[in-house]
Chains A and B, each alone.
Chain A
Amino acid sequence: MEYRSQKIAYWYFAAALPLFALQILLGLYLAYSYTFTVPQSIVNVFPFATARAMHTNLLVLWMLLGFMGGTYYIVPEETKSEIYSEKLAYFQLIALLATGVAALVGFLFGWTQGRPLLEIPRPLDLVVVVGALIFLFNVAITMIKANRWTAIQGTLLGGLVFLALLYLFGIPFYKNEVIDWYYWWWVIHLWVEGAWELVSAAIFAFVLMKLTGVERQVVEKWLYVEIGLFLFTGIAGTGHHYYWIGAPRYWLWIGGIFSALEPLPILLMLIDTMMHVKERKTPIVNRLTWTYAVGCAIYHMIGAGVWGFLHTLPQINYYTHGSQVTVSHGHLAFFGAYALLNLMTFYYAMPRIKGIEVYDDTRGKYGFWIMCVAMMLMGLFFGVAGVIQSYVERVLGMGFMTAQSYMRLWMGSVFFVGLTFLAGVLLTVTDLLTLRPAKVRA
């Protein structure tokens, strides 16, 4: 750690980690509900819907905390200056956590906006907006005052501003369900295939540059090409969500063509990661951080690139839309693109903040491999369930619950592999929160 204010990041990461574990716990309840019968008396007070709202909002919350922490870690080194106000940064962390907790408890009592992933009630949305403005202000002022612009800084700030702006489209009440979904995707899709990709590409480029010692010029050149392709394919690629919502027919063409190209930037990212690692100018210390970086690039490609491509064409999507195929893709993509990226950042930054030069990575290694293998299996089982659903319900027209009964075995398998995944997560979370120096080998 070179700058005092980088320590802010530690608290963002430390807050994110338990939320990650809680997210998985709720996910297990969801998988359980798919497989076994939850009695009516429990369903009445704690419905699947509530657990799902918590599962997804926890995901967004811990990942945003990770991105913000990552930003607070990177910006001082990039701008060669301290963060403008540490107090504001801590205040914003507390405000965000308080909002998050209020929202989660609110869900338990049915306080919700009632729109998937955007369940946070409107009054709390305003607090989120204020928090985001404080964050952007703090980061932007730091960069402007330092006036040492780099492509990484620009991408990071651009991504964060874009992220905040898009959130606004999720706040109003839309009378027309078609328009509602139209703008819902401006938040959801343009976040994960736009703003979030910018933020994470910037973070990834920074970590890769620092790890491998490859020159800034080379890293930033690749960064431009990647984010250019991400936005070129991602913005108009939003159209793949407009096939069946009552939007004009040309969206089948726009969505089909642009989203077929969406794997390209991810592939490029994978190639340049491999190249940078191969042409590294520094020795590999803390092998686990490197493993995370490469693992993230590969998993990102599989989950977001390959799995997304598989059902993005309208002819296929007509049968798989809104089925467990989507769930399979969602899990692999979020884990690959964002969970691993955040964990990589944590493993890069947390030892440095704590002043540990070489950390003991025994537990962390097990954590990484258990999570990666378990998630891959979960993705496959969701996928099998999804294909069964698409065929039995959509092609054969045999009815929803008939299809669900054939899928039960696979959803049950998801539950049991999910238990393993939770073990991996707990191991990783504990490891990150209690990092210790590696024993010197004699």
Chain B
Amino acid sequence: MTKKIAFWIFLLGTIASAVVFLAATWDTHKQVATLSNVDKLSDRVVAGKRAFEKYNCNDCHTILGFGAYYGPDLTRVVQRIGEDGVRFRIKDPEKAFAKSFRKMPDLRVADTEIADMVAFFKWVGEVNNNDWPPQDSKKRLSRGEQAMVATVGVSPGAAVFQAKGCMNCHALRGTGGTFAPALDTVGRRKTLKEIEQYVRDPKSVNPKAQMPPQKELSDRELEEVAKFLSSL
């Protein structure tokens, strides 16, 4: 190989890679509006991003997986701990992390800034990012549920029913709690869709319902438990 050939390897390699990269960049710009729900990118969300940067949050936390690794990832923080949970932790970290071996600084963030940040986190949480991070994925059963399915041989829905403590209130064939109705024949009374709706938000079906809405169930868990109950 001569130096001239080496030079051409350099030139063509660089140009080829740059062409691929720039073409994909152009296309990404076209698609990003849909992927990141730009229609929901309000002034409030932008203000939240500014506050997030003002307090240098990103040098302890990651968001979309980037930043520092000292605190938990914030991509789906609203889905994970709720808006109130976010507000409480920013407002009064000393109280929120009193028992933790790791502290969060009290940066005296104004209430309006906290509200803006919540809007920002909510928007980020809805970005279509190939379902990252895995711990907040809506597609998964918890590890305990997976173990029950694999080793005890129960259906995924039965595993969810067991693991999420439904039997603290409800009973099946006389086993379980008496606080709420037994579910032995629930499948004959309600369809799969109706069960899903009820479990997610009982008050939307029966305003007097006392059952708490099961917000922490992943989509997969909800689907499986509804499938299980509708088969009864």
Q: Which residues of A contact B (CB under 8 A)?
A: 30, 33-34, 37-40, 43-44, 47-50, 52-53, 110, 112-116, 119, 151, 173, 175-182, 184, 217, 220-222, 224-225, 227-229, 231-236, 238-239, 241-252, 254, 258, 318-319, 321-324, 326-327, 393-401, 404-405, 408
Q: Which residues of B contact A (CB under 8 A)?
A: 1-3, 6-7, 9-14, 16-18, 20-21, 24-25, 27-29, 31-32, 35-36, 38, 41, 46, 49-50, 52-60, 62-73, 93-94, 100-107, 120, 123-124, 127-130, 132-135, 140, 142-143
**Chain A, Cβ-Cβ closest to B140:** A397
Q: Which partner residue on chain B sits nearest A234 by CB separation? A: B17
Bound Cα distance A420, B120 (Å)? 42
Q: Are A48 and B24 in contact (CB under 8 A)?
A: no
Q: Are A231 and B63 in contact (CB under 8 A)?
A: no
> Which of A34, A178, A222, A233 interacts with B17 by CB under 8 Å?
A233
In the bound complex, how far is the Cα of B141 from the Cα of A395, in angstroms?
A: 11
For B18, the chain A residues whose CB sits under 8 A away are 231, 235
Across the interface, which residues of A come within 8 angstroms of B16, CB to CB?
232
* B106 with A40: CB separation less than 8 A: yes
Given known contacts A228-B9, A322-B133, A177 and B64 CB-to-CB distance under 8 angstroms: yes
- The distance from the CB of B114 to the nearest CB of chain A, in whole angstroms, is 16
Does B135 lie within 8 Å of A394, measured CB to CB?
yes
Contact A231 B14 (CB under 8 A): yes
Q: Is the CB of A254 within 8 A of B20?
A: yes
Cβ of B66 to closest chain A Cβ, rounded Å: 6
Pick the residue among A116, A229, A246 that contacts B68 (CB under 8 A): A116
A228 engages B59 (CB within 8 Å): no
**A243 near B69: Cβ-Cβ < 8 Å:** no
A232 to B29, CA, bound (A): 22
Pairs A-B, 4 closest by C-beta atoms: A114-B53, A228-B10, A49-B59, A322-B65
Contact (Cβ within 8 A) A48 B134 = no
B130 touches A243 (CB 8 A): yes
A182 to B, closest residue via Cβ = B28
The answer to whether B94 and A236 touch across the interface, beta carbons within 8 angstroms, is no
Q: A30-B70, A52-B68, A400-B71 are in contact. List 5 more A-B contacts (CB 8 A).
A: A43-B105, A49-B57, A52-B59, A114-B59, A178-B64
Question: Chain B residues near A234 (CB, 8 Å)?
Answer: 17
Residue of A nearest to B73 (CB): A322
Number of A-B contacts (CB under 8 A): 229
Q: Please, how many angstroms separate the alpha-carbon atoms of A116 and B59 in the complex? A: 6
- Residues of A near B58 (CB, < 8 A) are 49, 114-116
CB contact under 8 A between A319 and B32, given known A52-B68, A235-B21: no
Please name all residues of chain B whose beta carbon is closer than 8 Å to the beta carbon of A44 when the two chains form the complex: 105-107
Give the complex CA separation of A132 and B14 in angstroms. 24
Contacts of A175 in B (CB 8 A): 41, 46, 49
Contact of B70 among A33, A119, A394 (CB under 8 A): A33
- A321 proximity list for chain B (CB < 8 A): 65, 132-133
Q: Tell me the bound Cα distance from A249 to B14 in angstroms.
A: 24
Q: Is the CB of B17 within 8 A of A231?
A: yes
Please, how many angstroms separate the alpha-carbon atoms of A242 and B12 in the complex? 24
| Contact, CB under 8 Å: B35 / A178 | yes
Find out whether the CB atom of B142 lies under 8 angstroms from the CB atom of A397: yes
Which of B10, B31, B67, B107 has the most CB atoms of chain A within a 10 A radius of its CB? B10
Instruction: Say how far A63's CB is from chain B's closest CB, in angstroms.
Output: 19
Name the distance in Å between A233's Cβ and chain B's nearest Cβ. Answer: 7
Other-chain residue from B7, B13, B32, B94 in contact with A176 (beta carbon distance below 8 A): B32
Among residues of A, the one whose C-beta sits closest to the C-beta of B136 is: A397
B94 touches A40 (CB 8 A): yes
What is the CB-to-nearest-CB distance from B77 to chain A, in angstroms, rounded to a whole number? 11
- The smallest C-beta distance from B103 to any residue of chain A, in angstroms, reads 4
Complex alpha-carbon distance, A242 and B25, angstroms: 11
- Given the complex, which residues of B lie within 8 Å of A115, measured CB to CB? 53, 58
Q: Are B127 and A246 in contact, CB atoms less than 8 angstroms apart? A: yes
Contact of B36 with A178 in the complex, beta carbons under 8 Å = yes
Contact between A258 and B17, CB atoms less than 8 A apart? yes
Which residues of A sit under 8 angstroms from B31, Cβ to Cβ?
247-248
Q: Is the CB of B66 within 8 A of A184?
A: yes
Contacts of B68 in A (CB 8 A): 48-49, 52, 116
State the CA gap A147–B13 with chains docked (Å).
Answer: 27
Task: Return A53 CB to nearest CB of chain B, in Å.
Answer: 5
Residues of B close to A318: CB separation below 8 A: 130, 132, 134
